[in-house]
Amino acid sequence: MDNSSFVTAQRLIEEIKREEDAKKIAGLIATFEQALGAIPQDDPARIDFLLTAGEVLYEKGKYKDSSHLLESGLEQARKAQMKGKQALALGLLADLERVQGNYRNALSKLMQARKVLGENPDHDKDISARLHIISGLNNMSLGEYQNSREAFYEAYQVYSQIGDLKGKALAANRLGTIATMQSEYAEAEKYLQESLSLAKQLNDRHGMAGALLNLGEIQRHLGQFAEARACYMEASALFAELGLHRGMCIAENNLGHIAVQMQDYPASKRHYLTALECAKIANLTPDKLDTLAGLVFIFVERGQYNDAALLIQFILRHPAHLQETEEFLESAQQVIANKQTQPVTDVPSPDQLEQVIAETLDKVF
């Protein structure tokens, strides 16, 4: 491969990663695809560039562009009979489905990826571990926590065996996440502190942000709001520096939830609006629903039980809601169950999400 073509493609990927303006990103994508024309179709580096660029765009919420590049990479990997790269492309396409709330579609693509690669391959172990991570995240979204934990632990073991410290930090982070969700806080903190330590060792700011985000979650569940807030604030700042809107969205939603619990509604408004802006940029439907779930608790605190009951039903009937959002709402549902409320009727359809958000914000703030 012409080295100048390699340098150009790599430079364009870095520019796409840094750019925030949608029109400029579109132009960079077009230039990137033109640059790939100088690279032979059967060159493995061409496939790597397509998959890397596709993953960068997915992280930025550019799902259509991401899907296009990942599908191109998948097709070229198939033609070249490169099973590892085929499996990775399918795994990334699965994760693309997951973040859009299409969990069953994600499962189907993960099954295809594993069929291509095999259950315990002697080759492409890093890709096998990556598939375990994606599978664990999808299981977590579906509320299948034990399957999720097993998948993350498989990844942790593989990354440890091959000496991939960055991968091990990611797997430890995920193990800490699932332990937190199962209220095993000591176990969670052990893995998350390991993840944070490895990320600092590697100067991996993305890994640091992820570990801090989940350490904040432990503190929030324990009612240690000041400590949780500090972790979330640092995580949000790191995600913002990296241009990673989904991580920032999660951190800001959690900061909003803490502010609601402390009845600091001006702060909750600030954080929820930031979360919604990030969710809009990155097209994060499940995270928009999480913001709405936080607003349910303001209705409950103010005794607006009918509004709370209607909003809960809208969230729970939306196909993109997360299992953890459902669990988050349980305490609000228990309060409402003990109050005299009108029967919930005329629940808006999922395609009215933006209207529901606008109307709820008007009522709450």
Token pair 């230039």 is found at 31
- Asked whether the predicted pLDDT for residue 43 surpasses 90, the reply is no
- Asked whether the predicted pLDDT for residue 153 surpasses 70, the reply is yes
- Asked whether the predicted pLDDT for residue 70 surpasses 70, the reply is yes
C-alpha 19/C-alpha 221 separation (Å) is: 36
C-alpha 170/C-alpha 195 separation (Å) is: 7
Within 10 angstroms of residue 148's Cβ, the number of other Cβ atoms is 24
Candidates 133, 124, 47; CA nearest to 83 is: 124
C-alpha 22/C-alpha 27 separation (Å) is: 9
C-alpha 189/C-alpha 208 separation (Å) is: 14
pLDDT class of 325 with cuts at 50, 70, 90 = very high
Please give the DSSP secondary-structure letter assigned to residue 339: S
C-alpha 35/C-alpha 6 separation (Å) is: 9
Query: 220-245 pLDDT, tens per residue?
Result: 999 999 999 999 999 999 999 988 88
- Asked whether the predicted pLDDT for residue 1 surpasses 50, the reply is no
Q: Can you give the pLDDT at residue 8?
A: 92
DSSP 319-332: TT--HHHHHHTHHH
State percent of the chain over pLDDT 90.
Answer: 84
C-alpha 248/C-alpha 121 separation (Å) is: 35
Query: 290-302 pLDDT, tens per residue?
Result: 999 999 999 999 9
Please give the DSSP secondary-structure letter assigned to residue 194: H
Q: Can you give the pLDDT at residue 2?
A: 56
C-alpha 160/C-alpha 132 separation (Å) is: 14
- Average pLDDT, rounded, for the chain: 94
**What is the three-class DSSP state of 347?**
coil
Domain boundaries of the chain, sorted by first residue: 286-365
- The CA-atom distances, in angstroms, between 97 and each of 104, 118, 328, 355 are 9, 22, 23, 24
C-alpha 148/C-alpha 152 separation (Å) is: 6
**pTM: predicted TM-score of the whole model, two decimal places:** 0.81
Q: Can you give the pLDDT at residue 149?
A: 97
pLDDT class of 148 with cuts at 50, 70, 90 = very high
Angle between helix 165-181 and 125-141 (nearest 10): 20
The answer to whether the beta carbons of residues 312 and 335 sit under 8 Å apart is no
- The CA-atom distances, in angstroms, between 143 and each of 294, 323, 332 are 20, 5, 19
